[in-house]
Structure 1
């Protein structure tokens, strides 16, 4: 995936850079020709400069148009009709002075509200959740939030100012907006990977706002997770005789990493582990459908670029701030039911840490749901079962509105 990311970013940047170079080249050439007084050559260069200027203007117009026309598709039933009380919106909000985007989708706008917290930090899964968890839209108003520094909200805050507290503050502000808009006392939380940690932070600080939390690909101890992932990748590489990967891992050294190349060093073992899970025949539907997601209507052309910039830049800045967090020490007493949905074959977020954490949790209700044919993303690997289990947990008589 990293290779795809780099290729797409470089392609877009190259187009603009080439156009800029051509315009500047034409400008300086015109200046030289004026000195030599060659009118024909001067005319040709002027036409070329005008042409490339027009192309640049059209490109900017196309980008602007794509941003303005981005949308989320209407809800439709099996007959192709839109349910009367359904909701399908793509909306920009100001949360604590930061402009951010959400999508809201559901067959009935009076249904309970479920806020999905994407992985990352810096990831956007607005389109992915619509594609993979459409079944939940029949039972909830499903809200997807592009967090600061990701996707459509990439420019919500300067990267250097983003911290874990930023996400907690804005997640709370978004929750308050949703409670008021839909006349709810509480909403449900579903967090994926980094989002599972953010969910813990939110229910810890604002338990009165949430019915329950499901964490999937549950993060517990960020520094230990990185060390375990690194060791696992090294173990697999040695078993396969992959000397090139072993060399790259040893060159980086054992994590945690700090500085400007956290993303790239981490990607060496994280991509290797993702590929390892994708090759596991026990894992259903193993891969991310990145091209489908980035091509979805929710993202304009600039959003598509920022889809990757968040994964690279925001992740690099924020992730190294999380190494001091260990849920087993800092977040054991919560006043909200907590459930972990874990893939049996997850080698990205070691499930042994989640099991240890679950044992320590003092909460009104708790439990682990295992997905026997999943890796790090049960909501993708076994989406039908995942939706069923969400309904079982969230719409049980214990915590129903």
Structure 2
């Protein structure tokens, strides 16, 4: 029987065995590094359907091309130029994912109980001009003839309305819900220079947006909702322009920021001492009690606010602020990053301006109905201060609705209370 001897050139395995060990190790590590780079560069593509509203026709081709580039890296691992080309393709794919997230992200359709889009419903992310600056709103609702509810956004300053817009999904059959990314955060980041962020800017822009919505939806008045920082803005709005609003609704109402924060600081310090957490307790002592001043006021505030959130069983601010925007589908990747930047920059610029705020002296009479949702054990927006303010407040109608636990509408039980009051009491203000 004749047999032909296979040359090393015809046997890749043999060729590899004949290569010096240092060369084999070099190929191995270069391939490993290329694959690590591939995983990092593919991550923006993989996360597109999980964290943005980019449609499948955009992210699926990016993913397929990216996976093909990974296979190329493995198959052509012995060719340095081929590997560089594969990584280059992945860089372009990652850039395409970022671009797609910014250009193509949108809000999901408004659906009925059958999961199908509601005919005539509204679901859109829109750019509007407010006092010469371009800002962004999210509009959602079953019926454009429903009353408008303007969500002024989360706390901060700098939280923005896209951040908490999903809390209102269950009310979209009752209201046309408009969530506003205020100047300086999220999609409206950079719309106004940070140095121009002050009470008058926020109030004037909110009034301009209110009038835009009144005209668009042909309604004489609208409802407004605020939480924490934006509850301050809400009080300012109904105090200065009661003719524009049916009612004001808030959660985590701020009354006197300095008194509120000093009480929270003492509670946090006491808790850390009781827990034997000397490191963080010493940090709070070094910071001293609020209010804080200087270029970076956010850090000492977050130091004790994180503790308060832990005491209430909530996520730390230092975790929630950068994490939650990554699950806001209407945000592109740059918006998600800008949201965190906006919270820090807006807080540093605006919060010190609230040092003398005290609604028990400055806003004891409001000419619209007000509804305060208050956590019984809220130690962020101190519940006792809100109760005192509500008792002293003069308004056509006022209600303090107690929620179980701490701050926010996070639990299903509290959400049910909120939805019931909004549908059956707040909505009833409109004939």
Taking structure 1 as the reference length, the TM-score comes to: 0.81
Q: 2:109 aligns with which of 53, 56, 74?
A: 74
Distance of aligned partners of 1:249 and 1:72 in 2 relative to their CA distance in 1, 3 Å threshold = same
SS at match of 2:112: coil
* Residues 1:369 and 2:401 aligned together: yes
Give the whole-Å Cα distance in 2 for the aligned partners of 1:79 and 1:141. 20
* Alignment match, 2:391: 359
Distance of aligned partners of 1:393 and 1:197 in 2 relative to their CA distance in 1, 3 Å threshold = farther
* Residues 1:297 and 2:329 aligned together: yes
Greater alpha carbon shift after TM alignment, 95-104 vs 377-386: 377-386
8 A Cα contact 1:72 1:88, kept in partner: yes
* Residues 1:345 and 2:345 aligned together: no
Greater alpha carbon shift after TM alignment, 387-396 vs 265-274: 387-396
Give the whole-Å Cα distance in 1 for the aligned partners of 2:202 and 2:106. 24
* Residues 1:335 and 2:367 aligned together: yes
Task: Please state how far the C-alpha of 1:60 moved relative to its aligned partner.
Answer: 4.6
Q: 2:152 aligns with which of 93, 106, 117?
A: 117
- Listed as ranges, the gaps of 5+ residues in structure 1 are 1-10, 16-43, 281-286
Any residues of structure 2 matched to 1:165-176 within 5 Å, and which?
165-176=200-211
- Listed as ranges, the gaps of 5+ residues in structure 2 are 1-39, 45-79
Q: 1:85 aligns with which of 86, 105, 120?
A: 120
* Alignment match, 2:54: none
Q: 1:323 aligns with which of 347, 355, 361?
A: 355
Task: Please state how far the C-alpha of 1:91 moved relative to its aligned partner.
Answer: 0.3
SS at match of 1:376: coil
8 A Cα contact 1:342 1:378, kept in partner: no
Any residues of structure 2 matched to 1:2-401 within 5 Å, and which?
59-118=94-153, 119-130=155-166, 132-278=167-313, 291=323, 293-371=325-403, 373-378=404-409, 382-396=414-428, 399-401=429-431
Question: What's the C-alpha RMSD, in Å, of the aligned pairs?
Answer: 2.5
SS at match of 2:312: helix
8 A Cα contact 1:379 1:386, kept in partner: no
SS at match of 2:164: helix
Larger RCO (CA within 8 A; separation ≥ 6): 1
Aligned length: 349
SS at match of 1:321: helix
Distance of aligned partners of 1:206 and 1:227 in 2 relative to their CA distance in 1, 3 Å threshold = same
Distance of aligned partners of 1:220 and 1:164 in 2 relative to their CA distance in 1, 3 Å threshold = same
* Alignment match, 1:21: none
Distance of aligned partners of 1:279 and 1:308 in 2 relative to their CA distance in 1, 3 Å threshold = closer
Distance of aligned partners of 1:266 and 1:289 in 2 relative to their CA distance in 1, 3 Å threshold = closer
8 A Cα contact 1:337 1:366, kept in partner: yes
* Alignment match, 1:6: none
Give the whole-Å Cα distance in 2 for the aligned partners of 1:126 and 1:384. 21
Give the whole-Å Cα distance in 1 for the aligned partners of 2:107 and 2:314. 33
Task: Please state how far the C-alpha of 1:310 moved relative to its aligned partner.
Answer: 1.6
Greater alpha carbon shift after TM alignment, 380-389 vs 117-126: 380-389
8 A Cα contact 1:92 1:102, kept in partner: yes
Greater alpha carbon shift after TM alignment, 141-150 vs 233-242: 233-242
8 A Cα contact 1:114 1:140, kept in partner: yes
Distance of aligned partners of 1:315 and 1:85 in 2 relative to their CA distance in 1, 3 Å threshold = same
